[in-house]
Amino acid sequence: MTDDFIVLEDLEKVFQVRRRKGRLRRERHEVRAVDGISFAVARGEMVGYIGPNGAGKSTTIKMLTGILTPSGGRLRVAGIDPSRERTRLARRIGVVFGQRTTLWWDLPLRDSYALVRRMYRIPEARYRANLERCVELLDLGGLLEVPVRQLSLGQRMRGDITAALLHDPDVLYLDEPTIGLDVVSKSTVRRFLGDLNAAEGTTVLLTTHDLTDIEQLCKRVMVIDHGRLMYDGALTGLHEVGESERTLVVDLERELPPIEGVEGARTVRTEGPRQWLAFPASASAAPIVSQIADGYPLVDLSVREPAIEDVISRMYGGK
């Protein structure tokens, strides 16, 4: 056995949907929400799972929790087939859906947690230690007696994360855990997740539309689109796949016509004595700089890395 903790082989989920067509007729058609995805996540990894709206991210996570049964392919989490042994799996996993709470709306957080404790039969000492830790690190002090419906979105999200962790799950699925949070809450949540993964070795699968989450937390990222895996690797490697460009910003002594004849780069913008040249992100800037320095009165220069957002939107748009 390898140390792979989550294994997907050719996983598929097809939804049959009926659309009204005219007054009486209905047309049936299929939505291939997940269309043959394979990957493996090792124990202790923290992986980003990203893609545009409707790509199939939430559907994948629902299959990983056993909420949805796959239409095809194979799936194992901690050696368990999620849809067949959902209850047994529940003891091993924690789930946070940012879009909706798993807490009891009318109960104070503390009562919700007490119910979670009974549901999972968490030993008292463990429960207290875990709760204390989450309350401290997620800044929940003073909120435990407040009914969930009175919490702000950011407070509720931190409350949800706590609920998902009280039973010491080996793996945590987070579906947009930072959606709608302010900068402070976001950084609290990120720091907490980073520490959790580092200190407890919890395996984390993170879905988000905020790429800063990924940049700060995940060495590995998977990009899906139309139910297919488009990329699986290091975040930095996305630049190569996305054929992204870096930008060389040069300041000349004076305003001049656009720089020409530089091999491997092209001038994309000028503004007074400042000019911008684009070149492939995978290429070295040095030969470009020396060509410019040879032919132009160069005063200063800097290199700008492509924004990861641009790289990804190019990927989404490209295929």
Ligand X SMILES: Nc1ncnc2c1ncn2[C@@H]1O[C@H](COP(=O)(O)OP(=O)(O)OP(=O)(O)O)[C@@H](O)[C@H]1O
Residues that bind ligand X (CB under 6 A): 15, 17, 31, 33, 51, 53-59
- Residue 94 vs 98, nearer CB to ligand X: 98
Largest CA distance in the chain: 75
Distance CA 286, CA 277 (A): 13
- Residue 55 vs 288, nearer CB to ligand X: 55
59 counts as binding Mg ion under rule CB under 5 A: no
CB of 188 to ligand X, least distance (A): 23
CB of 206 to ligand X, least distance (A): 13
Residue 198 makes CB contacts below 8 A (sequence gap 6+) with: none
Helix (H, G, I), strand (E, B) or coil at 252: strand
Closest CA to 120 of 183, 73, 182, 169: 169
58 counts as binding Mg ion under rule CB under 5 A: yes
- Residue 57 vs 167, nearer CB to ligand X: 57
Helix (H, G, I), strand (E, B) or coil at 198: helix
CB of 57 to Mg ion, least distance (A): 5
Contact by Cβ (8 Å): 148, 106: yes
Contact by Cβ (8 Å): 39, 222: yes
CB of 224 to ligand X, least distance (A): 7
Q: Which does 56 bind (CB under 5 to 8 A by kind): Mg ion, ligand X, none?
A: ligand X
Task: Kindly give the pairing relationship between strand 171-175 and strand 93-97.
Answer: parallel
Q: Which stretch binds Mg ion (CB under 5 A): 56-64, 103-111, 135-143, 283-291?
A: 56-64
Q: How many residues bind Mg ion (CB under 5 A)?
A: 1
Residue 53 makes CB contacts below 8 A (sequence gap 6+) with: none
- Residue 68 vs 262, nearer CB to Mg ion: 68
Question: Which of positions 95-124 make contact with Mg ion (CB under 5 A)?
Answer: none
Q: Which does 66 bind (CB under 5 to 8 A by kind): ligand X, Mg ion, none?
A: none
Q: Which does 189 bind (CB under 5 to 8 A by kind): Mg ion, ligand X, none?
A: none
Where does residue 31 rank: exposed (0-12), middle (13-18), buried (19+ CB within 10 A)?
middle
Contact by Cβ (8 Å): 263, 287: yes
65 counts as binding Mg ion under rule CB under 5 A: no
CB of 25 to Mg ion, least distance (A): 31
- Residue 58 vs 202, nearer CB to Mg ion: 58
- Residue 73 vs 280, nearer CB to ligand X: 73
Closest CA to 237 of 316, 317, 287, 312: 312
Distance CA 208, CA 176 (A): 5
197 counts as binding Mg ion under rule CB under 5 A: no
CB of 222 to ligand X, least distance (A): 12
- Residue 17 vs 293, nearer CB to ligand X: 17
φ and ψ at residue 81, rounded to 5 degrees:
-85, 110
- Residue 58 vs 162, nearer CB to ligand X: 58
Distance CA 169, CA 102 (A): 16
CB of 59 to ligand X, least distance (A): 3
Question: Which of positions 146-185 make contact with Mg ion (CB under 5 A)?
Answer: none
CB of 41 to Mg ion, least distance (A): 19
Instruction: Give me the residue label for tokens 């030969």.
Output: 287
Q: Which does 159 bind (CB under 5 to 8 A by kind): Mg ion, ligand X, none?
A: none
Contact by Cβ (8 Å): 181, 138: no
- Tally the C-alpha atoms within 13 A of residue 261's C-alpha that lie toward its C-beta: 7
Task: Tell me which residues touch Mg ion (CB under 5 A).
Answer: 58
